[in-house]
Copies of this chain bind each other. A is one copy, B any other.
Amino acid sequence: MSRWRSKRWQRRMSLKLDFNYMMSEFLGEANGISADDLRGLREVAVKLHQELSEGRAGGNIGFYDLPYDQDTVEAIEKFAGKAIKQYENVVLLGIGGSSLGPRALHSALAGGQWANMADYKGRGKIPRFFFADNIDPDTFARILGFAEPRKTLFLVVTKSGTTAETMSQFLIVRDMLERKLGKNKVAKHLVAVTDAQNGRLRNVADREGLTNFIIPANVGGRFSIFTPVGLLPAALMGIDIRQLLAGAAAMDGRTKECDLHTNPAYVAAALLFLADRTHGRNIDVMFSYSDALFEVADWFRQLWAESLGKKHSLSGKDVFCGLTPVSALGVTDQHSQTQLYMEGPFDKVTIFLAVEQFGQSMPIPTLYDGLPDLHYLGGHSLEELFQAERKATEYAMLQAGRPSMTITVPEVNPFTLGQLLYMLEVQTAFAGGLYNINPFDQPGVELGKKLTYGMMGRQGFEQVREDYANRQPKQDKYEI
């Protein structure tokens, strides 16, 4: 499935991190980070690196070694190779970490929003892809309207197997399949991606004999893009998952040493940490100058927010830390957000995503001789204007004392995507250490879940239900 790629090609496709405009040499002492600030983190970095390496070696932190799981790759390729020919639609039932990764891959490498149109050129014989990652009834009804059961494969993706949203959708689909196709056809249209042992989806998959793929117990949802959570959908989109993993492995090679000069994941984490701690910049804008990479920013939003937004430090102290990730699209959001980024509070760092080489060239013709302020555009190209605006925005922000760094992807392909996603995972794990919090849990969502269970009448949540029913009543004067 995978084309062989030379070392030279791989080097040329190597992702770059440019952090000049984070540094005090460019921003001045008041707004920049000094080489000394970075050096000051050296000791703690060594300690953290050792802890993370031990967590990896001891099997507690699972995401690091995912690029090397050949058995999973083969199983997925075997299944997807057949399924691609069999089904016209794939519907992914999954939310959060079960959907954001596949969405990012679809958008970057498989046509994204355009791919489901009848006259889309470039999909070939790949099924249409639908993400059922919300429970808005109007949307879910629409998706089911598009996906004729006979021609559709439903992926049910939840690690815990208890996610109320996904399991509700599953119940609706399960029931519909039986009614429309008959009981013995149901299993043919359902694939489960879940834990090896635990959870209701595991029970169901086992007793109904569903094809299923395993999410390793030591990999959390937001770090799961290189498990079957990401790889199975990717393969069904026709993406070369070996190249994706080769990219991740290449970045693993670059992030294995604890060096705050050469390890791009550690450098990025350290700079964002310092910008927050020393200058109070607690909003991180991922500004993608590429439509294809825009949903990577959305995937990163979960990774960064859920990993670092924590009430307690590792020692149990109240810290209420966290960086708020914001996703923005260049140049589009220059006409929406740049005014704020240039003149608003000094509370942001921008991470530009840049692409060197696009797939298409769009030359701008030379017209309207008599109108010089229109004529000047001719002879250039859209991609030239695109790059010029990115550089102009970066430089204008520097002039206004606003720090930024730029991650450059030579071109958007599975190998570069693999690097980018893996780098951001390593960056997040390391940043968790700098903040002295646990980047792998999410205790803050429990209360909301319990309240929902209570309202929906789940056993064992009667007390929450009662507490909620007895809540302080709202006041009419505050509702208009």
Contact = CB atoms under 8 A, between A and B. Distances in A.
B377 A167 contact: yes
A444 interface: yes
Interface stretch (A45-53, A230-238, A450-458): A450-458
Given A291-B134, A321-B344, A477-B261, A338 B459 contact: no
Interface in A125-174: 133-142, 145-146, 162, 164-165, 167-169, 171-172, 174
A158 to B, nearest CB: 10
B175 A365 contact: yes
A231 B368 CA distance: 30
A345 B395 contact: no
A136 B290 CA distance: 6
Contacts of A29: none
Indicate the size class of the contact surface on chain A.
35 or more
Contacts of A338: 444-445, 448
Contacts of A326: 324, 326
Interface string A359-396: 11111110110011110111011111110110111011
B373 A344 contact: no
B137 A114 contact: no
B16 A342 contact: no
B283 A137 contact: no
A9 interface: no
B456 A310 contact: no
A18 interface: yes
A210 interface: no
A195 to B, nearest CB: 15
B337 A301 contact: yes
A305 interface: yes
B362 A141 contact: yes
- Copies of this chain: 2
Most buried by B among A96, A137, A311: A137
A124 to B, nearest CB: 15
Contact of A368 (B116, B204, B310): B204
Contact of A445 (B203, B339, B458): B339
B264 A480 contact: yes
B168 A382 contact: yes
B171 A339 contact: no
Interface in A339-362: 339-348, 358-362
Interface of A: 16-20, 22-23, 25-26, 95-97, 99-100, 113-114, 116-121, 133-142, 145-146, 162, 164-165, 167-169, 171-172, 174-175, 200, 203-204, 221, 261-262, 264, 267, 282-283, 289-292, 301-302, 305-306, 308-311, 320-322, 324, 326, 329-332, 334-348, 358-365, 367-368, 371-374, 376-378, 380-386, 388-389, 391-393, 395-396, 399-400, 442-445, 447-449, 451-453, 455-459, 468, 471-472, 474-475, 477-480
16 contacts: A16-B479, A18-B474, A96-B335, A117-B146, A137-B386, A162-B374, A165-B331, A200-B368, A204-B374, A320-B344, A320-B346, A340-B444, A342-B444, A376-B457, A380-B457, A392-B455
